[in-house]
A and B are shown apart, each in its own frame.
Chain A
Amino acid sequence: MGSLLNYIIRRILFAIPVFLAVSIITFLVTNAAGDPVQIVRLGIRNLNPAQLKAIQDYFHVNEPLYTRYFLWLADLLRGNLGQSLYSGSVAGKVVPWIGSTLELQIPAVLLALAIGIPIGIYSAKRQYSKSDIAVTTTAIFGISMPTFWLGINAILIFSLYLRWLPSFGAISPYPPWWWGNIYTDQLAHIIMPLSVLTFVSLAAIVRLIRSSMLETLRQDFVLAARASGISDFKVTYKHALKNAVTPVVTVVGLTFGTLLGGAPALETTFGWPGLGYEFVLSATILDLPVVLGITMIISAMVLAANIVTDLVYALMDPRVRL
């Protein structure tokens, strides 16, 4: 297992320059106008001189660009994400948002895998049958739909028309609670965004599993296993499945990245108090420190997800040279 440790270390070492590059790009974007204070002033028009001075000091506008970057980076690495221009430290605000976002994203990915893998296999095993065509058609509609638009329709139907579910937020701000108590209230709130997110990732996963499975089922070892009398069920769910899922693992890792990237739209639609929604709110009022902080946190999460994915892949496929 020494080589595994070696691999993990190498993977993490490789992540460092990537993270630095991401930080540089993010920093440059916010400084593209010259200095960030100009941007802030576009959002907040009536600053008094004292406030302006405070903001200028905060962004070290008198220092050259690279000094500003390193000062920001140094803070970042110490875990200090800066101060919101309105109130409180970014780090303090961000933690509950991370929780909310993950509360939605992780179950969505897991549910999509749990449902998507069997459907993908079923569809591949009955290629060109009616049920396969139904599945592939639904899936291609699924990937062609902007998540938030699906969300809007869900709100139209289930909140505005049927009035079964709440359309906004993660919890009702005050009683009456949905369906009786505070827990069922939260459940009522999460159902819609979670279903929408699951459906969209499900579509992508079903397509991946199906095509990967089709490829795998054509391989010689599947035929050889069947010819040695192993049951169809075992051939499918032991041999073919593992071979079909292994390449998909990488893609699922990347999907997680896109999902997080898609968080702003989805969370805004449902008013879900996660990183994405707060990003949109902060960006709209140009609260730059918060925006920067959220961007870096999302990047770090995606990076971590990628490392985990690579590790899972390496553990699943003995041919990967660690």
Chain B
Amino acid sequence: MPETVLQVDDLKTYFFTEAGVVRAVDGVSFSLTKGKPLGLVGESGSGKTVTALSVLGVVPRPGKIVSGKILFEGENLLEKTENEMRGFRGKRIGYVSQDPNSSLDPLFTVGNQLSEVVTTHEKMSKEAAREKVVDLLRLVRIAEPETRMRAYPHELSGGMRQRIAIARALASEPDLLIADEPTTNLDVTIQAQVLELLRALQRELDMSLILITHDMGIIAEMAEEVVVLYAGRVAEVARTAEIFAAPRHPYTAALLQAVPRVDRKRPLVPIGGNIPNLITPPSGCRFHPRCAYMIDRCVSEIPPLEAIGGGREVSCHRWKELELRGSS
């Protein structure tokens, strides 16, 4: 029986803005097997980043976790105090954020920022911390770590900065690494390097990994399991191979059909409409205004996230009757 490292249960995180309540995460549930890479797919406004920040307990104001459970190795993180949470953040759960250009403090050297994290989680001498930092930089394959330590973030390339952000997240060998779109702002060739590094580190350190992305291609390469989010809710959960072969949710299928491929040209089937506004989200199934298979029930009734066997879950009234095409 594989061990579960993280279990998110009916998580709701809302943002209380002047314009109204933004239901950014509205009942998200999934779990993550220890030592496995999980992909969290979604577009802007799907709630993927907010989910990650909720797990870490660093949802920025005016956001608030309204209800739900986040079990990390059996402990409910939502019952922890701020002080206790610091024993998880960075120590047992590492986080790599989206934009390497802004995730490092521009006014301090890379070495300073890394040793700060190292000493936060473990009491050690300055010398030891320095050595640890050098080791970390080696771990993320940075050449000449001693020189790079003295550099300021603006003196490094985007790819290099993202490696440093990864090194920071790995400072105290966390059990779980959350990487939030770690390659979105990087060039393709650099993206390939960073993804390769993440994959290698995940295996080397036997970490659990949550990789957040909007790119189904990255999912195919990196993840073993996928959670598809749409407008703050889970649309579908499945093993990667299954989701590409036979998606069960119309949104997943549409996403696979709407994305152009580099290996061959094929007719694109666009998804109509736009990402919904989460202050006044569509009633019933949130995908219904854009769904080709919409029926009346989809407007009136929220589809539950049903387990459909084989570890798969889907949130669609019509999953049984629909025959959806996969990536082929």
Interface residues of A (CB under 8 A from B): 127, 218-221, 223-232, 234, 238-239, 242-243, 246, 316-319
Contacts and interface: CB of A to CB of B under 8 A. Distances in A.
A220 B103 CA distance: 5
Contacts of A246: 107
Interface string B89-110: 1110011011100111111100
B119 to A, nearest CB: 10
A226 B89 contact: yes
Contact of B120 (A220, A231, A317, A319): A231
A226 B58 CA distance: 7
5 contacts: A223-B58, A224-B168, A227-B97, A228-B117, A319-B154
B107 A317 contact: yes
B105 A239 contact: yes
A318 B105 contact: no
A315 to B, nearest CB: 11
A229 B107 contact: no
B contacts with A: majority SS: loop
A227 B107 contact: no
A223 B168 CA distance: 13
B318 interface: no
Nearest to A319: B154
Majority secondary structure of chain A interface residues (helix, strand, loop or mixed):
helix
A227 B152 contact: no
B56 interface: yes
Kindly name the residue among B90, B117, B169 whose own CB sees the greatest number of chain A CB atoms within 10 A.
Answer: B90
Contacts of B105: 221, 225, 239, 242-243
Interface in B132-160: 152, 154
Question: Which of the listed residues B87, B88, B91, B120 has the most CB atoms from chain A within 10 Å of its own CB?
Answer: B120
Given A220-B98, A225-B105, A229-B121, 16 more contacts: A221-B102, A224-B103, A227-B58, A227-B90, A227-B97, A228-B117, A228-B171, A229-B117, A231-B120, A232-B82, A239-B105, A239-B107, A243-B106, A318-B106, A319-B106, A319-B152
Contacts of A228: 89-90, 94-95, 117, 120, 168-169, 171
B120 A229 contact: yes
B103 A230 contact: no
Contact of B89 (A221, A229, A317, A319): A229
B95 A227 contact: yes
Nearest to B114: A228
B152 A318 contact: yes
A221 B121 contact: no
Given A229-B121, A230-B116, A230-B117, A221 B90 contact: no
B25 to A, nearest CB: 16
Interface in B249-276: none
Nearest to B92: A229
B60 interface: yes
Contacts of B86: 229, 231
A261 to B, nearest CB: 31
A228 B87 CA distance: 10
Contacts of A229: 86-91, 117, 120-121
B22 interface: no
B165 interface: yes
Given A227-B89, A228-B171, A221 B82 contact: no
Contacts of B165: 224
A310 B136 CA distance: 36
B169 A239 contact: no
A238 B107 CA distance: 10
Contact of A316 (B104, B107, B169): B107
A226 B103 CA distance: 11
B104 A242 contact: no
A79 B98 CA distance: 59
A190 B98 CA distance: 54
A242 B107 contact: yes
A318 B102 CA distance: 15
A229 B86 CA distance: 5
A318 B154 contact: yes
